[in-house]
Amino acid sequence: MTEVQSLSICVNASEHVSALLMVPRDARACYVLAHGAGAGMDQPFMAAVATGLADRGVATLRYQFPYMQRGSKRPDLPPLAHATVRAAVGEAVRQLPNLALIAGGKSFGGRMTSQTQASAALPNVRGLAFLGFPLHPPKRPSIERAAHLSKIEVPMLFLQGTRDELADLSLFGPVIDKLGARAKLHTFDGADHSFHVLARSGRNDADVLTQILDALAAWIQGVVAAA
């Protein structure tokens, strides 16, 4: 079993956040993994992604945003969130200088990562991977949150459930088409924003997670091989 190393990341003079690093022996890449708005890096889903990727030869660096570190429920404003993403990627570079980096995360964390990359390319990051990109608020379909994606030049993978209330696929498809070859959309039938599936689907959440991890690990390996 891959060991978990606890780290502290300096965001600025007044903010430090916790992080967890998992590096399997055969790792060729590291996924810098940001959490969603409602739960931190220790959430079972986040831990399962890290463990599953380690089993597939991909290292992970999970980290907290400052508001979660403080125990607040209100997400950080974008400038601080972006600084945290940049600090986490910088820590991954320091810890794993010989590994290719993929950045992204769950929902809010993924969107903050893409905004950061769009503003100025993150060092050593060869691609972005999103676990449920929040295209719009619930019941308010829009593509405004996708506007910055056109500024990103590295490959992007969007892993989305077909029942995701924060990502109307009839809107998401054209967004991906506009981004061209650098973006790929992989959908999971019947999964919601948290990748839960209904019992009547004949599948369970563990089945979906396996599919997610297989797709994510294969894409990461492909990005690394193509570089």
Q: Pairing between strand 16-22 and 4-10?
A: antiparallel
Domains and CATH numbers, the chain: 4-226 (3.40.50.1820)
User: Distance from CA of residue 49 to its chain's centroid?
Assistant: 10
Which residues contact residue 16 at a Cβ distance below 8 angstroms, ignoring those fewer than 6 apart?
8, 9, 10, 69
137 and 107 Cβ atoms separated by less than 8 Å: no
Reading the chain (227 residues) residue by residue, the pLDDT tens digits are 789 999 999 999 999 999 999 999 999 999 999 999 999 999 999 999 999 999 999 999 999 999 999 999 999 999 999 999 999 999 999 999 999 999 999 999 999 999 999 999 999 999 999 999 999 999 899 999 999 999 999 999 999 999 999 999 999 999 999 999 999 999 999 999 999 999 888 889 999 999 999 999 999 999 999 87
